[in-house]
Structure 1
Amino acid sequence: MIQVFCIEGDHLRRVDPKPGEALPAGTLWIDLLNPSAEEDKAVEAWTGAAIPTTEDMAEIEESSRFYTEGGVKYLTVPILHKVDMGHRKIAPVSFVLTDRLLVTVRYSEPKAIDLYIGRATKPGSGLLGPRCSGRSVMLGIIEATTDRLADILEGVTEEIETASQAILHKQAAERPMSTKEFRRLLTRIGSQGTFLSKVRESLSGISRLLAYIQVGVEAGEPRKETRAWIKSLERDTQSLENYVDFLSNKITFLLDTVVGLISVEQNAIIKIFSVAAVGLMPPTLIASIYGMNFHFMPELGEPWGYPVALGIMVLSAILPLFYFRRKGWL
């Protein structure tokens, strides 16, 4: 699908030119969503720039993600999508930047881009000015992406705090957690850790994109306001990366805590069995003695022999437990 946006005052307006027709005046942004080969060719004819394929976008080398060819900048950034649906996937989005025009190529539907389109096409939003270019649209998309990542991190923080409450506060007041509860907590915390790695990957790609743009800017271009915008986005990205590191350390601490609690519960169970085994050893010894088939055992012929033997076995089981209690081992 091809979406073409033109500048109209202080907002974008979507137009639908047909392949083979000239682009309308004021076109700033061409958005390619799951493009076909014919759509790729149509955009290449409009812009004179090659459109990266899915194989090109999947490259992980920085030289393959950020480069300039024929005066056109090619920038590829991994962006999260389907977060609200629970899938939490990450997919590359390519920005093809010419002197004035921006082409985005994507095979996913990040919510940040949809949010930007909704805001940028609304009159009076203040996102675009009369001197804006495709670079302004790209920075606006990056800003919307960082805002979206910040909102996502707020949700992750709430999840981590909920898990922390379940581990640290409920553990002391309530009964020990069951194996099922421990498994659920480990899965919950581990999934957040995996998700944070994807957030970090996306932030790292955005940070490298901004650094590439900043280094590659010629003297006097872009305008002072745009350079300040890039610096602001770099600071926002850096602060989010630091916050992701903080959350990752917290998740590591919670995982270590859960593993430690599991070890404590296992040790408590083993201690019970150990004490039970030690407590039953003297009665077992006495029962074994009286289970011997010797003819000359005087108490076997006495009426008090059986209850006395039982009493000795009970007493021999109680005395070790009392001793363990006095020592503080129980």
Structure 2
Amino acid sequence: MITIYLKQYNKIIRNADPALFDDLGYDDILWIDMLQPTIKEQKAVENFMEFSLQTRQQVEEIESTSKYSETENTIVSNSNFFVPTGESFVVEPVSFTLSNEGVLVSVRQAEFRTFREAEKRLQMNYRSYSTGYHIFISLLEVRIDYDADLVELVSKQVSTLSKDINSEEAIDKKVIHRINGLQESTMLLRENIFDRQRVLSGVLRSERFPNDIYPRLQLMIKDVNSLINHADFSFQRLDYIQDAALGLINIEQNEIVKIFSVASVIFMPATLIASIYGMNFRFMPELDWTWTLPNGFELPLGYLFAIGLMLLCSGLTIWFFRYKKWL
């Protein structure tokens, strides 16, 4: 789909027919936005603008020259945008091409709030967007604002996670998965904010943009630097939370191992006594220990003696552990 923004009265033509370019000139067009363009639409724009658009492979490259470059006739910039997917988001690249005549051509494969917001600004105050350069900078401004919202959202999620860990008595796998998910989101944010920083640095070094844009660029770079610092803080905090969670898990596991160790030590003397009296030696005087009751019944004292000795040794072991404060 092609959307054309004309200079006259800020008119917008959606689902533009490629044949429309035959009746238009550079002075008529402000911005050509291409959403999932067909090969026919792409060829029509290339023939009209007299330059080649970026391929998908070129847009996804990570070299500095692929993020921002200038040729004799065009300025090419590629930047990554976020697409929300439930609790997370995926990254979609967008290609921008600016001609010397001030016409902006954007190529994207997904719908973004950034473009809808930029379109609203263009309709509300079209006099402030006299060239495609101004629209391009406005798109970056809106994108940085949304990046700030995402950084703030991740920061709130990190704070909530920290409170949950402090309030929970046991840490399970879900907490670790939450930490890993937030770490992945924070890394994606940092990478894309760095991407924005490289684009702004290239624009700031350029001499082709109108002079009224450069003061706005200074503010945008300051905002980007503050977002990078904020994202770094969130990432460091997640590292701390992860260490704390793993520490709590280790403590919980140590407590379980401690219980089994204490139980085995408590029953060890009783097991030793039972093993001794379980030996099939012929001479064991305790077997003959008896106590004759008044009614003539003989009570075997050896059995009771062994049981009492087991209980006494186990009780002394428990007392010793408590005395040493191991329990």
| Common fold: TM-score over 0.5 | yes
> Which residue of structure 2 lines up, in the alignment, with residue 324 of structure 1?
321
For each residue in 1:146-184, what CA deviation from the matched residue of structure 2 results, as whole angstroms up to 9, or x when unmatched?
A: 11111112221221111101112x14xxxx31xxx5211
1:229–1:8 CA distance, 2 compared to 1 (3 A): farther
SS in structure 2 opposite 1:91? strand
Distance 1:314 1:199 in 2: 63
> Which residue of structure 1 lines up, in the alignment, with residue 276 of structure 2?
289
1:198 aligned residue (169, 178, 188)? 188
Distance 1:188 1:119 in 2: 37
Post-superposition shift, 1:111? 2.3
2:138 aligned residue (137, 140, 143)? 140
For each residue in 1:220-252, what CA deviation from the matched residue of structure 2 results, as whole angstroms up to 9, or x when unmatched?
A: x522x3110111111111111110000000111
> Which residue of structure 2 lines up, in the alignment, with residue 222 of structure 1?
210
> Which residue of structure 1 lines up, in the alignment, with residue 292 of structure 2?
none
For each residue in 1:273-301, what CA deviation from the matched residue of structure 2 results, as whole angstroms up to 9, or x when unmatched?
A: 11111111100000001101112111112
For each residue in 1:1-56, what CA deviation from the matched residue of structure 2 results, as whole angstroms up to 9, or x when unmatched?
A: 111112455xx431244323233754211111111111111111222221111111
1:31–1:252 CA distance, 2 compared to 1 (3 A): same
Note if contact 2:76-2:96 (Cα within 8 Å) is conserved in structure 1. yes
Distance 1:228 1:234 in 2: 10
SS in structure 2 opposite 1:88? strand
Distance 1:65 1:251 in 2: 30
**Aligned-pair identity (%):** 32
* 1:211 maps to 2:205: no
> Which residue of structure 2 lines up, in the alignment, with residue 19 of structure 1?
18
One-letter amino acid of the structure 2 residue matched with residue 268 of structure 1: E
Aligned 1:234-245 pairs, distance under 5 A: 234-245=221-232
Distance 1:130 1:313 in 2: 93
Note if contact 2:129-2:135 (Cα within 8 Å) is conserved in structure 1. no
1:8–1:257 CA distance, 2 compared to 1 (3 A): farther
Distance 1:19 1:270 in 2: 73
TM-score (norm 1): 0.89
2:251 aligned residue (239, 255, 264)? 264
Note if contact 2:33-2:106 (Cα within 8 Å) is conserved in structure 1. yes
One-letter amino acid of the structure 2 residue matched with residue 57 of structure 1: V
One-letter amino acid of the structure 2 residue matched with residue 191 of structure 1: G
* 1:186 maps to 2:176: yes
> Which residue of structure 2 lines up, in the alignment, with residue 68 of structure 1?
70
Post-superposition shift, 1:269? 0.7
Distance 1:268 1:281 in 2: 20
SS in structure 2 opposite 1:82? strand
> Which residue of structure 1 lines up, in the alignment, with residue 35 of structure 2?
33
1:8–1:270 CA distance, 2 compared to 1 (3 A): farther
> Which residue of structure 1 lines up, in the alignment, with residue 264 of structure 2?
277
Larger Rg: 2
Post-superposition shift, 1:131? 6.2
Distance 2:275 2:64 in 1: 77
> Which residue of structure 2 lines up, in the alignment, with residue 113 of structure 1?
115
Supply the RMSD in Å over aligned alpha carbons.
1.8
Which of the pair has the greater relative contact order for Cα pairs under 8 Å at 6+ separation? 1
Note if contact 1:82-1:110 (Cα within 8 Å) is conserved in structure 2. no
Distance 1:230 1:14 in 2: 27
One-letter amino acid of the structure 2 residue matched with residue 217 of structure 1: E
TM-score (norm 2): 0.90
1:290–1:130 CA distance, 2 compared to 1 (3 A): closer
Gapped runs of 5+ residues in structure 2?
290-299
Gapped runs of 5+ residues in structure 1?
none
Distance 1:56 1:293 in 2: 86
* 1:156 maps to 2:151: no
One-letter amino acid of the structure 2 residue matched with residue 31 of structure 1: D
1:252 aligned residue (239, 247, 251)? 239
Post-superposition shift, 1:309? 0.8
Distance 1:327 1:23 in 2: 91
Distance 1:93 1:131 in 2: 21
